[in-house]
Amino acid sequence: MHSYVEAHRRSLADRDGFWRERAALIDWQTPFSEVLDYSRPPFARWFVGGRTNLCHNAIDRHLAERGAQPALVYISTETDTRRTYTYEELADEVNRFAAILTAQGVDRGDRVLIYMPMIPEAVFAMLATVRIGAIHSVVFGGFAAASLATRIDDAQPKVLITADAGMRAGKSVRYKPLVDEALRLTVHPPSRVIIVNRGIDAAMSSTPGRDLDYATLAAQYAGESVPCVWLESSEPSYILYTSGTTGNPKGVQRDTGGYAVALTASMRDIFCVAPGETMFTTSDIGWVVGHSYIVYAPLLNGSTTIMYEGLPIRPDPGVWWRIVAEHRVRTMFSSPTAIRVLKKQDPAFMKAHDVSSLRYLFLAGEPLDEPTARWAADSLGVAIVDNYWQTESGWPILSAQLGIAETPRKFGSPSFPVCGYDVRLLDELTGEEVGADRKGVLAIVPPLPPGCMTTIWGDDQRFVRTYFETLPGRSIYSTFDWALRDADGYYFVLGRTDDVINVAGHRLGTREIEEAVQAHPGIAEVAVVGVADAIKGQLPMAFAVVKDPSLLETAEGIGRMRAEVLSTVDRLLGAIARPGAVHFVTLLPKTRSGKLLRRAIQALAEGRDPGDLTTIEDPAALEQIRDALKS
Ligand code: AMP
């Protein structure tokens, strides 16, 4: 414990020394002149003046020593495909893709939108984009046309890269029609769409002049090599959209040098994966865990990464452990939801494989309940490491740092602040620090460490307002999570302070879902809350007021309206945002000033006491919620 406390203290007291040492883990084309420029708080510029490139550090710099080592192992149980790319082969693919992008006029600072299933070409596209100094924006393939359109209009990409289809549980999920629909909705459509045709959707249509076939381009540009564009450390590498309390997602902007340094160091200090060893992260490239720990960190570190398309229970619930055994995986990174799914299966599947190579199973993205953590530890016989972070941070904020100190873990706790993060727990009303075992808002004293978001794409003011001006007294970064710290210094994360919910580790804004439900012309008003779910952590539940109550007079009418609401959400946001239940009421509980009492609704939906409701306008609204839940 002492060595952790000392390392953390030093990371803040001698910030420059701490990060200078870690900056030596990557290559710099031009050395930086200053570790940190914090002359314009809360905007931090790390490794000022240093010039580097993410793709160079992820690929080129390993070629001399590790050219023949596997870099990317692709396994799809959906299409029964396995492909291994050595660092050399990955370099060829990425160079070729970079040549394709350059030929389409993509230049330094231009945006490239990637809307793809879990296929290697998605990784080639990301690395090719940063190679030429352009900025990628990967949009999760489960988002529907309207969500995609909003992100296109905000990022205004020059090129969009997609595929004909993805696969889920043996069924094809068509991507291209969604892209076509999104492009019809946008004000700023990209001029070119590159399509990786997997041969899944035979009926895929193409728009001549705009749509380009990847295989044709790949043949044309085979063998091309494209030099890296050296960026100043603070120049953006990518944008990743995340949900908040408004219906408008925020484009989290990441820098280049700080991200490369923080991620490379995290492989040593937190994830304990050495160059040459293998990491298996089960997320999707559309989420931050996928960006950081499927793609960038393992490659920056000279490790081997496994990219998996498929479910954890197909063809059988042993599939992940078979992969661990076959590839001698050292560290695995997954989500509590996935482990809860596996927990319902026959434990024999978990025990059937030799997982002796595995040292750690990292779990993040949502609260990790103790029974799930215990079950995973007992069945696998490996250490479970709960770690807490956000799209904004890009890498862990709270975690055991086993590469620094072997601190014991407590179930239910993601341990301690990671080195570089000055974490505080503050009283929401006074901004004062709270004592041991007291609930407070988890906040970070700026400057945020390297790797964290540098701003919101195109909106510096929103960055400052959203994150640094919500707690009283001073400018401090709010995570919008409640947490407490016990007397031994262990943190426990207690859930969001805002209206954001977490479904299977994916962050969704209740406002976004409400706006989608309200897009149905028959809905007057709606409240969406997150309700505890045994597998997914939380599920959205909607309470809607219809414009014409006569439509709900028969059971058939209710069923029809419910189905229409669900398909509206599917169409606008995607099935991941689909409410688990839709209830109809004639009145929603609000304060006298008209604010929805979401926390009271949520409490009732979870069978808890709704608490102090002196501000409620009409108590009958709560009775309606109670009745709706009973029916
Ligand atoms: P996202 O930005 O989608 O990764 O979601 C981040 C949010 O997920 C955080 O603000 C937390 O609410 C939640 N979260 C992430 N990791 C953990 C964890 N280990 N324990 C509890 N909540 C977590």
Q: How confident is the model at residue 476 (pLDDT cuts 50, 70, 90)?
A: very high
Q: How confident is the model at residue 350 (pLDDT cuts 50, 70, 90)?
A: confident
Mean pLDDT lowest among 47-61, 423-437, 604-618: 604-618
d(CA 460, CA 454): 9
Cα 507 to middle of ligand 1, angstroms: 8
- Parse the chain into domains and list their residue ranges: 87-229, 500-630
Predicted pLDDT of residue 595: 86
Predicted pLDDT of residue 31: 98
The answer to whether residues 523 and 562 touch, using CB atoms and an 8 Å cutoff, is no
Q: Which pLDDT tens digit goes with each residue over 214-225?
A: 999 999 999 999
Predicted pLDDT of residue 1: 72
In this prediction, residues 502-530 reach a mean pLDDT of 92
Q: What are the backbone dihedrals phi and psi of residue 307, each rounded to the nearest 5 degrees, phi first?
A: -110, 125
The label of the residue with tokens 């406390």 reads 5
Q: Which pLDDT tens digit goes with each residue over 386-441?
A: 999 999 999 999 999 999 999 999 999 999 999 999 999 999 999 999 999 999 99
Instruction: Name the nearest CA neighbour of 575 among 142, 93, 80, 82.
Output: 142
Residue 615 has pLDDT above 90, yes or no: no
Enumerate residues 6+ apart whose C-beta is below 8 A from 20. 35
Comparison of pLDDT for 228 and 594, the residue scoring more: 228
Structure tokens belonging to residue 173: 């999920």
List the residue whose alpha carbon is closest to atom 6 of ligand 1. 390
- Helix and strand totals (H; E) in the chain: 21, 30
Q: What is the DSSP code string of 554-583?
A: SHHHHHHHHHHHHHHHHHHT-GGG--SEEE
Q: What are the backbone dihedrals phi and psi of residue 150, each rounded to the nearest 5 degrees, phi first?
A: -60, -45
Residue 19 has pLDDT above 90, yes or no: yes
Q: How confident is the model at residue 337 (pLDDT cuts 50, 70, 90)?
A: very high
List the residue whose alpha carbon is closest to atom 3 of ligand 1. 507
Structure tokens belonging to residue 343: 């927990």
d(CA 178, CA 183): 9
Helices 145-155, 555-572: axis angle to 10 degrees equals 30
Q: How confident is the model at residue 593 (pLDDT cuts 50, 70, 90)?
A: confident
In this prediction, residues 100-127 reach a mean pLDDT of 98
User: Considering the entire predicted model, what is its pTM?
Assistant: 0.95
Predicted pLDDT of residue 248: 82
Q: Which pLDDT tens digit goes with each residue over 255-281?
A: 999 999 999 999 999 999 999 999 999
Predicted pLDDT of residue 591: 87
Second-level CATH architecture of 500-630: 2-Layer Sandwich (3.30)
Helix (H, G, I), strand (E, B) or coil at 241: strand
The pocket around ligand 1, CB under 6 angstroms, is made up of 242, 288, 364-368, 386-391, 414, 479, 481, 493, 496, 502, 507
Which of 243, 335, 366 to mutate to test ligand 1, by most ligand atoms within 8 A of the CB atom? 366
Instruction: Name the nearest CA neighbour of 280 among 379, 361, 354.
Output: 361
| CA-368 nearest atom, ligand 1 | 20
CATH topology of domain 87-229: Rossmann fold (3.40.50)
Residue 137 has pLDDT above 80, yes or no: yes
Predicted pLDDT of residue 154: 97
